[in-house]
């Protein structure tokens, strides 16, 4: 019983204490504001500023990826679905394609739709994609195409989180437990 | 897309033959493959034509090692065996030729690890459907397995 109380107290302290204690990786001081020039899944030119006003999660991937990308997005969707509706409305997830030649706005729209209304696909030309990936220091590389013309893309496995003003907050790595991810998303939304 | 057309046409023509061959295999496979057991076979698929991922558990009940060397399905133009891995914040995926299963061993194809990659649908498939797949082994064994089509959200 005492242990439980103590655990509760520690949790309260941790939650109440500071802005700095993300359970995932803090990137507040090392990553720039959310900014880019890309094309959304309606084919419209968009800027980073267009996505201010909501908590924004950003993931770099490609739709030809059958395993890591859909699983990562589905788990994010799960985490979001556990929140109450009001909180959910405060969140958007940007799926930035690192494979623009296959990921047209049409392909992206159908793809992100499967994960929930919070998900938006973004694509662009190579220079625009490179500008975003360089900005957030993520790499990507294409494998050689096989006899069917299919190629794979190695890409960042991280999810970047930004607050409503577009300031970088935390980064989710593959190794972070889902419970930590959920707690940090919730806290970021609550931060107002 | 246009230069893929001949391939698609040949694929369609072959499909009928492939189906009859599969039926034969299904009958032959049951008796042949009792030393191998597959459970929990799921095909994680999204709407559209993006590739799907096959997950399952496979146990080698025999007292001899056997290698899984590939898979095929009449529902897809191409099925590959892949491994996903993560190094220094990068997600990698590469094709593998075979995976050995020791006597008594149980291997798992699971999210973010080994998976079958199902490329280009030959028939429309959606959540709740079933897909026939044949697992191919080094000793010529062919094991028919029914995969349940699921959403990645269920993984
Ligand atoms: Cu794969």
Whether A70 and B152 lie within 8 Å, measured CB to CB? yes
Average pLDDT of chain A is: 91
Taking contacts as CB-CB distances below 8 angstroms, the residues of chain A near B50 are: 63-64, 66, 107, 111
CATH no. for residue B55? 2.60.40.1890
The size of chain B, in residues, is: 155
In 3-state terms, what secondary structure has residue A86? helix
Q: Is the pLDDT reported for residue A3 higher than 80?
A: no
Give residue B94's domain range: 30-154
Mean pLDDT confidence for A86-109: 97
Residue ranges of domains in chain A, CATH in brackets = 24-190 (3.40.30.10)
Question: Cβ distance A89 to A124 under 8 Å?
Answer: no
Residues with CB under 5 A from ligand 1 (ion): B 82, 93, 117
Whether B45 maps to a domain, the answer reads: yes
Whether B14 maps to a domain, the answer reads: no
Number of structural domains (chain B) is: 1
Those residues with Cβ within 8 angstroms of residue A161's Cβ, 6 or more apart along the chain or in another chain: A24, A55, A56, A57, A58, A168, A169, A170, A171, A172, A184, A185, A188
Among the partner residues A66, A107, A156, nearest to B53 by beta-carbon distance: A66
The one-digit pLDDT tens for each residue of chain B (155 residues) are: 334 444 444 444 445 555 555 555 444 434 345 799 999 999 999 999 999 999 999 999 999 999 999 999 999 999 999 999 999 999 999 999 999 999 999 999 999 999 999 999 999 999 999 999 999 999 899 999 999 999 998 88
B73, B91, B109, best to mutate vs chain A, most A CBs in 10 Å: B91
Q: Is the pLDDT reported for residue A191 higher than 60?
A: yes
The pLDDT of residue A4 is: 52
Q: Read off the pLDDT of residues A9-53 as tens digits, 9 standing for 90 and up.
A: 444 444 444 455 899 999 999 999 999 999 999 999 999 999 999
Query: Which residue of chain B comes nearest to A137, CA vs CA?
Result: B89
Q: Is the pLDDT reported for residue A192 higher than 80?
A: no
Q: How far apart are CA A186 and CA B103, in angstroms?
A: 47
Whether B24 maps to a domain, the answer reads: no
Structure ipTM over 0.90, yes or no: no
A66, A82, A114, best to mutate vs chain B, most B CBs in 10 Å: A66
Give the closest-approach CA distance of A24 to chain B in angstroms: 14
The pLDDT of residue B22 is: 52
Q: Read off the pLDDT of residues A116-158 as tens digits, 9 standing for 90 and up.
A: 999 999 999 999 999 999 999 999 999 999 999 999 999 999 9
| pTM reported for the whole predicted model | 0.83
């Amino acid at each position: 019983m005492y242990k439980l109380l103590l655990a509760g107290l520690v949790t309260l302290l941790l939650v109440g204490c500071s802005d700095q204690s993300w359970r995932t990786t803090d990137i507040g001081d090392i990553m720039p504001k959310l900014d880019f020039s890309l094309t959304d899944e309606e084919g419209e030119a968009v800027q980073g500023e267009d996505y201010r006003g909501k908590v924004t999660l950003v993931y770099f991937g490609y739709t030809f990826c059958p395993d890591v990308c859909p699983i990562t997005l589905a788990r994010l969707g799960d985490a979001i679905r556990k929140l109450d509706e009001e909180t959910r409305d405060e969140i958007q997830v940007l799926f930035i394609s690192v494979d623009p030649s296959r990921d047209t706005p049409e392909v992206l729209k159908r793809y992100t739709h499967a994960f929930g209304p919070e998900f938006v696909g973004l694509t662009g030309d190579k220079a625009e994609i490179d500008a975003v990936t360089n900005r957030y220091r993520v790499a990507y590389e294409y494998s050689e195409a096989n006899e069917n013309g299919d190629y794979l893309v190695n890409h960042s496995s991280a999810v970047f989180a930004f607050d409503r003003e577009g300031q970088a907050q935390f980064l989710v790595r593959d190794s972070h437990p889902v419970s930590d991810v959920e707690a940090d998303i919730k806290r970021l939304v609550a931060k107002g | 897309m246009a230069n893929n057309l001949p391939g698609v046409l040949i694929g369609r023509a072959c499909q009928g033959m492939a189906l009859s061959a599969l039926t034969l295999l299904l009958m032959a496979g049951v008796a042949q493959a009792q030393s191998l057991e597959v459970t929990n076979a799921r095909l994680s698929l999204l709407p559209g034509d993006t590739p799907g991922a096959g997950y399952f558990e496979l146990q080698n009940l025999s007292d001899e090692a056997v290698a899984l060397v590939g898979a095929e399905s009449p529902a897809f133009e191409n099925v590959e065996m892949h491994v996903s891995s993560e190094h220094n914040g990068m997600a990698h995926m590469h094709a593998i030729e075979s995976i050995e299963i020791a006597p008594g061993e149980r291997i798992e194809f699971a999210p973010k690890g080994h998976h079958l990659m199902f490329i280009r649908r030959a028939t429309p498939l959606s959540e709740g459907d079933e897909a026939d797949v044949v697992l191919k082994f080094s000793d010529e064994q062919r094991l028919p397995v029914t995969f349940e089509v699921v959403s990645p959200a269920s993984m």
